[in-house]
Amino acid sequence: MQATMAATQQNTGQKYKVIPIMISLLLSGFVGMFSETALNVALSDLISVFNITAPTVQWLTTGYLLTLGILVPVSGLLLQWFSTRQLFIAALSFSVLGTLVAALAPSFEVLMTARVIQAVGTALLLPLMFNTILIIFPADKRGAAMGVIGLVIMVAPAVGPTIAGLLIENLSWHWIFWLSLPFLVIALLFGMMYMQNVSTITKPKIDVMSLVFSTLGFGGIVFAFSSAGEGEGGWGSAKVIASMIVGVLALVIFAFRQLTMKQPMMNLRAFKHPMFVVGTLMVFICMMVILSSMLVLPMYLISGLGLSALTAGLIMLPGGLLNGIMSPIMGSLFDKFGPKWLVIPGLVIVAAVLWFFSGITTASTIALIIVLHSCLMIGISMVWMPAQTNGLNQLPPELYPDGTAIMNTLQQVAGAIGTAVAVSIMTAGMNSFMEGVADKADPANAPLAMTAGISDAFIFAMIVAIVGLIVAFFIKRVHVSKSKQH
């Protein structure tokens, strides 16, 4: 990091306190990602505490994703209107407030509101984090810097379920938020002291119609997929079809408007750069695979194998930690060798592991699950950061805010699509299994039905990975000229 800092200052001619800036961003990013997955383990607990149904409790995740899907597209605009310090302090203030409200939440409605406030903080923070790294690091050091971000972004969701399992068993679900709160406050104070303004404020004109169509478009699609995954009428329900039609139409109008405006809210001309398109597709596919797997695997461990939340968290810990450790290594390898020799083998590993996962039964051993999950996470680490960094490297500096906003928006949409499709495929698989059994009332059939449904969900994830593998053959290394870096 010290060497990178010296190189950065040489290249930019401006002195950035790289390490304090990175610590502020990483600490706040870690806590944000931690509370995202930690809550997944508490969902079954919350159903009984608040006396609500599974589709209702899913809105704690859906509402979060929906808020991100609506706000992240606007982030490109915010990065050009407000300074880095202003946005960082605003993001952390929302995160602190949301976490405090969640920790004190007496009812589901209050907890739901708290999740939306938290999501506002995350929506401001994620694009800010990637945009700042693109500015303060020269192109030849970006892979390693993105790798460090990857380490944090991947380790947090990995330890989330384990720590949450411990807290739920010994204290209560409120402590998931009480634990996060002091770290967010420290990150806020640290950022107030050390965060520097790195981006250029251009204050482009705000187009209200673009904001409206962006909100309806991204919000409509995320809402449609999330509602379909709930199982109430599934994909054929009027709510799903209506919000999907509104979402798609609004997105088409939004895209047309952006391409015909002089100063677009989100500059879609970033898609003129082929490696940016490939990188965005890779990130989209990785997010679908990760979030669909992260959702169905704990369900299989808890409902299929009858394990506790803590045990399920511990089983998923090695893979998550491995992914985190591999991220900086993959970042350095990317800086040396480029993306192709990492991304293609990575997707081969991911597809192969998902094929093995589709064959799991209630008799599968815990050791097998740990090995498969670890291999899946190593494969993902070989794809995500190299493809993302390579794609962003092809953009000219003035398109960095738009490029990071596009990638981060599509990540949220991919997450919503991945989880919704996985849940609906899993539900359909469970129902068809139950139709084929003689005694539907036999409790022994429930774990078998769950496992059959989850097996189908993994086949879906494998097909997504194979599509990614085909796209990966088009990836080429982007060579950034010195003049383009700054």
Would you state the torsion angle of the CA atoms of residues 438, 442, 447, 448, taken in this order, to the nearest 10 degrees? -20
Q: Compute the Cα dihedral for 154, 427, 311, 95 and give only its sign.
A: positive
The string of DSSP codes covering 98-152 is HHHHHHH--SHHHHHHHHHHHHHHHHHHHHHHHHHHHHHS-HHHHHHHHHHHHHH
Q: Give the distance from CA 3 to its chain's centroid.
A: 30
DSSP helix/strand/coil, 282: helix
pLDDT of residue 2: 38
Q: Mean pLDDT over all residues of the chain? A: 78
**C-alpha pair distances (Å), 73 with each of 224, 239, 244, 403:** 18, 24, 18, 10
For the domain spanning 2-206+265-485, the CATH number is: 1.20.1250.20
Using CA atoms, how far apart are residues 149 and 324, in angstroms rounded to an integer?
9
Using CA atoms, how far apart are residues 464 and 446, in angstroms rounded to an integer?
28
Q: Is the pLDDT of residue 9 over 60?
A: no
pLDDT exceeding 70 applies to what percent of the chain?
85
Using CA atoms, how far apart are residues 349 and 356, in angstroms rounded to an integer?
11
Q: Which amino acid is at 64?
A: Y
Using CA atoms, how far apart are residues 448 and 303, in angstroms rounded to an integer?
9
Q: Is the pLDDT of residue 476 over 70?
A: yes
484 vs 328, residue with greater confidence: 328
DSSP helix/strand/coil, 365: coil
**C-alpha pair distances (Å), 456 with each of 204, 227, 425, 428, 446:** 47, 20, 6, 9, 16
Q: What residues have CB less than 8 Å from 236, skipping those under 6 apart?
A: none
Q: Is the pLDDT of residue 175 over 80?
A: yes
Q: Are 91 and 28 in contact (CB under 8 A)?
A: yes
Q: Is the pLDDT of residue 387 over 70?
A: yes
Using CA atoms, how far apart are residues 430 and 447, in angstroms rounded to an integer?
9
pLDDT of residue 485: 46
Using CA atoms, how far apart are residues 140 and 336, in angstroms rounded to an integer?
9
Residue that has been written with the tokens 């299994």 in this structure: 433
pLDDT of residue 486: 43
